[in-house]
Amino acid sequence: MTVYYLQVLEPRLSICLDSDVNFYHHYEVGDTIRIHMYSDKGAKVPFGSVEYDAQFTYKWSDISSRRLTIASLVSLGYMVDITKMVHRQEKLSQLGI
């Protein structure tokens, strides 16, 4: 498993946590999303001990809502990969800087 970190740049982005009751977690601009990338299961978003498929919804309550993958979110500029910055900060913290 490889871990990636993405930062939300666009409002109105969410992920479906329970499709039976249409329960969504809504992200705010600046939120950091942890992504677990598996070679066999694909991309997952952890919430506590449960992992959900990394299928995001843009404008979930709007008639023009659409489901987007991580690649499309990054290419559209709705998210940015901050993995290198997070790893750098962790290393600096370990060094006491």
> pLDDT for 2-36, tens place per residue?
999 999 999 999 998 888 888 899 999 999 999 99
Pairing type for strands 50-53 and 66-68 reads: unpaired
| Mean pLDDT value across residues 45-68 | 89
Report the mean per-residue pLDDT for the chain. Answer: 90
Q: Give every CB contact of residue 25 below 8 A, 6+ residues apart in sequence.
A: 14, 15, 17, 47
The whole-number pLDDT of residue 56 equals 94
